[in-house]
Structure 1
Amino acid sequence: MFSSTRTFITRFEDLPNEIIYEIFDILDFCSTYEIFSNLNRRFHQILVLSTLSIKIDISLISKPTFRRHYKQIIMPNKHRINLLHLSNPFIVDLFFPSSQIISKFRRLETLIIDTTTTTKLANLLKQLTKLPNLSSLTIIHRNCLYNINDLYLQIFRLPALKYCKLLLSENSNYGSLPMSVSETSPIEHLVIKNKFCLNELNALLSYVPKLRYLALNHLYSLPDEQTKSFSSSLNDLTHFSMRNSRILFNELELLAKHFFHRLQIFHISTYFDVSFLNANHWERLILSYMPNLIVFDFMHTNSLNDTTQLKYENLIQQFQSSFWFERQWFFTYTFY
């Protein structure tokens, strides 16, 4: 006869440390700390004496609660924080009464901030250069930046940055970003969600030669300042996204000629320029400059009336040729 025994875990504290770590990693650290740190010696050791990294995410919170968390939990554990997400603009000012404080977060790898204070942001970026492990930066800035180029330059000086996402409000008279002579950034993944002018793109890309992923959500061109050439190079670019783009097809062709030879994934949405609906133009562009393209995601929006609808239907039908079927790229359209 064989006998077997089974152990059933009926209490949370009976879970092994490895599982506890996984659970605490999912939960908000400040709340977890307040609930469990004084529950028993084991949880106190896990939360207070551990060297494991922690994530801090602060959004909706009262000032008294924030001040308590800041003093009792965040600052005593600043050496363990590897992710800091401050999605409340008013909390940013409270979190960094002095911009030098951020340099004490030596383990920080990811910083996400939503701020309204231009001076605070500029000073903060200068201190970020002292963080050797900061590899991911997201900035949302809702007030006017009178010199957005200074902000770009400060970001490009961050020594370990690989991922950068920006949503900025800028003054229209901020001048041109200078071309990089020798200064380059290690950024590989760049997302710019604010408006960006095509004639500034060459200078911007001169700072980020290692880009693999580029997303420009509001790329536009000026009719009296058309871009004629690019001197920067992106030999590793495989993913390019252009949402809400307002450039001409011949300007896109210029981009493709210089940057798209290794491109595998291309997302683009455009408005009004009917040349984007010329399937022959697309076939020539892809065959000439995008030989490695796998994913082609294209959306075009335009204004129609009864007399132009048939014209557009005929243009769209051109995308039903063998060129598109062989690549398993299929198109749908809607008139409304």
Structure 2
Amino acid sequence: SPGNLPTYFENLPNKLNLRYHSLVNNTTFHIKINISSISKNIFESYCKHILIPYQNRIYSMMMENLFIFYLSLLLHTLSQYFLLEILILKNIESNHIISLLSHLSLLPNFSSLIIMSIDHVHNVNKQSLGHLILSNLTHLSFQNENISFNQIKLFIRNLSHQLQVFRFSTEFDITYLNANQWQELI
């Protein structure tokens, strides 16, 4: 009735807050995270209030412009992200990639990795990749302008045989156009 109309509007924010709260706390609701260029204080708050409390519900995470501080916090808790399937890292320094990958091997549902490195990839060798087993990885995308074909070959050979999709982007290196070396790798 028209007399009850103000009451409905007065209770609307409370009902929306309750619905929002129940949605956020619903354990079947999976979370997709996108973190781009934030300050250390904001990232710490984000970790405290979002990443850590909801780490068992996060299935996808995109992080951009990771600095060593952010990465160390992420690595410290990464093994707790049991539902994490997709990780996108944009503008990550290449020297952090191997340590990150070793932590990803602990995640049972992890299947898709996208890396966009901002610098030259150093020290990719059998010793650094020997412990790397990403058994569920089916999709890999890697973008770096300064990585040799031999480094890519070594990286791919150390990955799981379940890899279905591999995307790679580079510039200034015509050795990638040699079909024979790709045929040998496949």
**Superposition TM-score, scaled by structure 2 size:** 0.72
Q: How has the CA–CA distance of structure 1 residues 121 and 93 changed in structure 2, closer, same or farther, with 3 Å as cutoff? A: farther
Percent identity among equivalent residues?
A: 24
Distance in 2 separating the partners of 1:125 and 1:106: 15
123 and 229 in structure 1: CA distance in 2 versus 1, 3 angstrom threshold: closer
Counterpart mapping for 1:217-296 below 5 A: 219-221=176-178, 227=180, 230-231=183-184
Q: Is the 8 A contact 1:58 1:86 kept in 2?
A: yes
In the TM superposition, residue 175 of structure 1 has moved relative to its aligned partner by 6.7
Secondary structure of 1:112 counterpart: strand
CA distance in 1, matches of 2:149, 2:163: 27
Q: What residue is the counterpart of 1:44 in the other structure?
A: 21
Q: Distance in 1 between matches of 2:42 and 2:19?
A: 26
More relative contact order, 1 or 2 (CA 8 Å, 6+ apart): 2
In the alignment, structure 1 residue 122 sits paired with structure 2 residue 92: no
Q: Determine the structure 1 residue equivalent to 2:38.
A: 61
CA contact (8 A) 2:94 2:121 kept: yes
From the superposition, tell whether residues 114 and 155 of structure 1 become closer, same or farther in structure 2 (CA, over 3 Å).
farther
1: distance between equivalents of 2:182 and 2:18? 66
Q: Distance in 2 between matches of 1:174 and 1:143?
A: 17
**Structure 1, gaps ≥5 residues long:** 1-9, 15-35, 199-218, 234-336
In structure 2, distance between residues paired with 1:174 and 1:65: 40
1:185 pairs with 2:158:
no
Q: 5+ unaligned residues in a row in structure 2: which ranges?
A: 1-7
Aligned equivalents of 1:182, 1:165: Cα separation in 2 = 15
CA RMSD between the two structures: 4.1
Distance in 2 (CA, whole Å) between partners of 1:137 and 1:231 is: 24
Tell me, yes or no, if the aligned pair for 2:140 and 2:163 is still in contact at 8 Å. yes
Contact 1:148 / 1:170 at 8 angstroms: preserved in 2? Answer: no
* Kept in 1: contact 2:62–2:87 (CA 8 A): yes
For the residues of structure 2 that align with 1:161 and 1:194, how far apart are their CA atoms? 21
Query: Which amino acid in the other structure matches residue 84 of structure 1?
Result: M
Which residue of structure 2 lines up, in the alignment, with residue 136 of structure 1? 112
How many residues were matched structurally?
Answer: 177
CA contact under 8 A between 2:32 and 2:60: conserved in structure 1?
yes
Q: Tell me, yes or no, if the aligned pair for 1:99 and 1:124 is still in contact at 8 Å.
A: yes
- In 1, Cα distance between equivalents of 2:60 and 2:119: 25
> Partner amino acid for 2:177?
Y
* Aligned residue in 2 for 1:21: none
Shift of residue 59 of structure 1?
A: 1.2
Secondary structure of 1:78's counterpart equals: coil
TM-aligned CA deviation for residue 106 of structure 1: 0.7
1:96 aligns with 2:83: no
Q: Tell me the residue number matched to 2:57.
A: 80
Native 8 Å contact 1:146 1:170 kept in 2: no
Name the amino acid aligned to 1:96: S
Q: Give the direction of change, closer, same or farther, for the CA distance of 1:176–1:68 in structure 2 (3 Å limit).
A: closer
The partner residue of 1:109 within 66, 85, 89 is: 85
